[in-house]
Structure 1
Amino acid sequence: MLSSRVPDLVALQLLLAVQSTGSLGAAGVRLGMTQQAASLRMRSMEAQVGVPLLARSRRGSTLTEAGGLLAQWAGPVIGAAAELDAGVESLRTDRDAHLRVAASLTVAEHLIPRWLVRLRDEQRAAGGSPTEVRLVAANSDAVAGQVAAGQADLGFVETPRAPDGLPSRVVAGDDLVVVVPPTHPWARRRGAITAALLARTALVSREPGSGTRDALAGALHVALPDVVPAPPALEVSSSTAMRAAITAGTAPGVLSALAVADDLALGRLRRVPVAGLDLHRELRAVWRSGPHPPAGPARELVALAARRG
């Protein structure tokens, strides 16, 4: 541990600047200090070291013998600090240049693309270079695992609750919808189906660990705490496969409204209302540690997503 007699780096820079300029005032200007601030800093350093460091005269300031020795020792210290400063800056530059994002399929397919375009536009408008983003799409459990393992800097999940051990922030909302093909009896039904009917119906479903599946299970449990839902008619690993199976008439399914917007608009699928079931869910950003997302593009992306979510 260093003693209290060792001056700080700014004081040592001031001493070296006086040596090269021959003037305390000129040295202060070089470091962005006023004459008064430079003089106070020098006197404080002399008191700290315990010996006079400057010989002052009308023609300027010169270093005393002790000041010259201190300047000689300070040179390598300032040089090493400059290398450290450059290294820290390179770390920040690398952080800002690359971002690893893992996102659940709904977010990855329907929200992240426009968020990333907006992030790029804002970075360019601020005079910076766009961040290079590597995006991995997976189910919510896998996303949380990648973030926890340090394989992704930032994640977006659809689970009803924040993953254990990961800080999070709600950035958007989404609604799940029950959909069937136009030929299904529910499509011709007047009014809503009940939550109980949905629970006892075998559905086309996402795989375990999917945020969509977990959100539906959570909503049914709230509405019907004593009811065990029917096993899936078919399990698939993507929204695209779910839509194809539902359209083919395999069984009804529950998907994000974002995922089936085109199918509903074109009449390929029909939305079926459900009475007594809250199918709204929150989409969250998750990161590894700390109360806020990592500084840099990760934090910028989370803020942007929250503004536009």
Structure 2
Amino acid sequence: MADVPLAAQLAHRVPDLGALELLLAVARLGSLGRAARELGISQPAASSRIRAMERLLGVALVDRSPRGSRLTDAGTLVTDWARRVVEAAEAFDAGAQALRDRRDSRLRVAASMTIAEYLLPGWLIALRRARPDTAVSLHAGNSVAVAERLLSHEADLGFVEGVAAPEGLDSAVIGHDRLLVVAAPGHPWARRRTPLDPAELAATPLILREPGSGTRQVLDAGLSAYGGLAEPLLELASTTALKAAAVSGAGPCVLSELAVGEELAARRLVRVPVEGIRLRRDLRAVWPVGNRPAGPARDLLSLTRGALD
């Protein structure tokens, strides 16, 4: 036993909190039956628990008689000790609840641009209905920036698009998204009768998101077998900027289907069909490895699961 940690020894020698609470109730009420009812257990279960505690401690704690239950001298002494243990446990529980309240009072979310602009507002409105007292902050950036905020503990939950979860993060796929090649109506691609092939797409300078974005990762992976992407025509850091450049006729670009519905419907942009390449990506919730979302982060994750399927 000398090499066994003290905590492990105590676990086999000290009664659990439930037994100590029962003993305190017997002392206060003078009856094992009334104590059992107060704690919501049967009298036989209460008697069994007292006997188990007496065997563990090696002393008699309660004298039982038709007139009620009376503590022995040893029982009175153990009750005094039990009261201090239970009070310490109550203080521990109150402190833990304070930590949970502090955690639940705020939620820091980091999300890549498409999710931040087109999906998160609806999810956060739903979360607000469920948790009106939680203050939410949102940081939008590319997938690399989201990962950095999570790994530096500046965010509680993240959302990214791409081919895989960033290194150091666990993830759950919450939906899927398609990337579309789009161009202004006056661009030659808008009038072509045959789909683009991957080689032509790879060789053409495009208006692109910056390296580190989920869109760029999918394109890099999909076109790597065709020589990779040509030097970008323009490299921009937001979906809004990409759309504006494409609508102006600066050149074709690749954007999330979520982002261009209005422009396609109004014919400000035209979808250009592509064959031979899979421009589909997973949308993921992400968090640091081993740090499963809890509190409002867990609730937000449950709101998003399967939302796009």
TM-score range, shorter chain: over 0.9
2:83 corresponds to 1:84: no
Contact 1:293–1:302 (Cα < 8 Å) also in 2: no
2:64 corresponds to 1:61: no
Q: 2:298: which partner in 1?
A: 299
What amino acid does structure 2 have at the position aligned with 1:184?
A: H
Contact 1:207–1:237 (Cα < 8 Å) also in 2: yes
2:103 corresponds to 1:95: yes
Q: How does 1:120-139 map to 2 (within 5 A)?
A: 120-121=128-129, 123=130, 129=132, 131-139=134-142
Structure 2 SS opposite 1:172 = strand
Q: 2:260: which partner in 1?
A: 260
Report deviation, 1:133. 2.1
What amino acid does structure 1 have at the position aligned with 2:209?
A: R
Moved over 6 A (4+): none
Distance 2:54 2:14 in 1: 11
Q: 2:3: which partner in 1?
A: none
Contact 1:174–1:282 (Cα < 8 Å) also in 2: yes
Q: How does 1:270-285 map to 2 (within 5 A)?
A: 270-285=270-285
Q: 2:119: which partner in 1?
A: 111
TM-score, normalising length: structure 2: 0.92
2:171 corresponds to 1:162: no
Q: How does 1:173-252 map to 2 (within 5 A)?
A: 173-221=176-224, 225-252=225-252
Distance 2:39 2:137 in 1: 41
Distance 2:195 2:110 in 1: 36
Distance 1:270 1:98 in 2: 42
Report deviation, 1:265. 0.9
Q: Which stretches in structure 1 are left out of the alignment for 5+ residues?
A: none
CA deviation vs aligned residue, 1:101-127 (integer Å, no higher than 9, x gap): 111000011111112223334x2xxxx
Across the aligned residues of Structure 1 and Structure 2, the Cα RMSD in angstroms comes to: 1.6
Distance 2:67 2:137 in 1: 61
What amino acid does structure 2 have at the position aligned with 1:273?
A: P
Report deviation, 1:28. 1.2
Report deviation, 1:130. 5.4
Report deviation, 1:299. 2.4
Report deviation, 1:144. 1.1
Q: 1:36: which partner in 2?
A: 44
Report deviation, 1:226. 4.6
Distance 2:170 2:132 in 1: 28
Report deviation, 1:129. 4.5
